[in-house]
Amino acid sequence: MSVSTEQIIGLLGKAEVGLPINELYRRHGSSEASYYLWRSKLGGMSKPDSKQLNEFQFAKTILKKLYAESLLEMVGHSRGVEKVRSTPRHGAFYDVAWTE
């Protein structure tokens, strides 16, 4: 079960009110250990903060992909590699063909 950041913050808020942690997280399909992990990462965060965090994480992912593609392109040009556009499969956007 995948839990969104907003749902986690809601669960953390319920735990702060005084609901038993093990019962609360068992009802939602998580463990008590997850509570302590999430509390260390997201404790004290509000829902608007979590939306901004998600936006930053999305932007970070895009920047990492752009950086990786530019490195591939630089290495490819220095080694005589031609980039061939293919359909995305499992995160791979380019196949590489060696040219001589």
The structural domains of the chain, with segments of one domain joined by +, span 1-45, 46-100
pLDDT tens for 23-82 read: 887 787 888 788 888 888 887 777 778 778 878 888 999 999 999 988 888 877 666 655
pLDDT (0 to 100) of residue 26: 79
Task: Please report the beta strands in 1-100, taking only residues with DSSP state E, as ranges in sequence order.
Answer: 81-89, 92-98
What lies within 8 Å, CB to CB, of 21 at 6+ separation is 15, 32, 35
Q: Could you tell me if 25 and 31 are in contact, meaning their C-beta atoms sit under 8 angstroms apart?
A: yes
pLDDT (0 to 100) of residue 73: 83
pLDDT (0 to 100) of residue 71: 87
How many beta carbons lie within 10 A of that of residue 30, not counting itself? 18
